[in-house]
């Protein structure tokens, strides 16, 4: 994907789409980072490993969008530092927990 043969309007739209997609992947990585940390701290190693696997998948997506941003000379969102903290906070925050388990991890539990 490159900017060849597209007009300025299309370029802006492509830049915006890449920037938003990149931010989404970045946020997902940070949420899983937070959840994994909490699970590890709670000694829930199996669930932490599963969340870690999901984090790896999101990291792969993020790496792909890092490359696409670079190839297309698109800057990441200026909100990246906020996104970093907000994503991680969401991952470790009480609202993401029910019965002391992250919402994603609950799906992984076999009762």
The SS3 assignment for 101 reads strand
DSSP code per residue over 28-64: HHHHHHHHHHHHHHTT-HHHHHHHHHHHHHHHHHHHH
Q: Minimum CB separation from Fe ion for residue 32, in Å?
A: 10
Give the binding-site size for Fe ion (rule: CB under 5 A): 3
Phi-psi category of residue 102: left, alpha or beta, with phi > 0 → left and psi -120 to 50 → alpha: beta
Query: According to the binding rule CB under 5 A, does residue 61 interact with Fe ion?
Result: yes
Segment contacting Fe ion (CB under 5 A): 8-16, 21-29, 41-49, 70-78?
Answer: 21-29
The SS3 assignment for 102 reads strand
Segment contacting Fe ion (CB under 5 A): 6-14, 17-25, 76-84, 96-104?
Answer: 17-25
102: β partners:
97
Minimal CB distance residue for Fe ion: 61
**Closest CB to Fe ion among 3 and 61?**
61
The SS3 assignment for 98 reads strand
Segment contacting Fe ion (CB under 5 A): 1-9, 24-32, 81-89, 103-111?
Answer: 24-32
Query: According to the binding rule CB under 5 A, does residue 104 interact with Fe ion?
Result: no
Token look-up 């949420």 returns: 31
Q: Minimum CB separation from Fe ion for residue 27, in Å?
A: 9
| Interacting residues with Fe ion (CB under 5 A) | 25, 58, 61
């Amino acid at each position: 994907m490159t900017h060849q043969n597209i007009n300025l309007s299309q370029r802006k739209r492509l830049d915006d789409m890449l920037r938003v997609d990149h931010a989404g992947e970045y946020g997902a990585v940070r949420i899983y980072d937070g959840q994994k940390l909490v699970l590890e701290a709670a000694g829930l190693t199996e669930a932490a490993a599963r969340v870690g696997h999901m984090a790896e998948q999101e990291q792969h997506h993020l790496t792909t969008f890092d490359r696409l941003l670079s190839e297309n000379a698109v800057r990441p969102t200026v909100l990246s530092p906020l996104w970093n903290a907000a994503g991680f906070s969401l991952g470790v925050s009480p609202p993401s927990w029910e019965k002391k388990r992250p919402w994603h991890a609950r799906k992984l539990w076999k009762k």
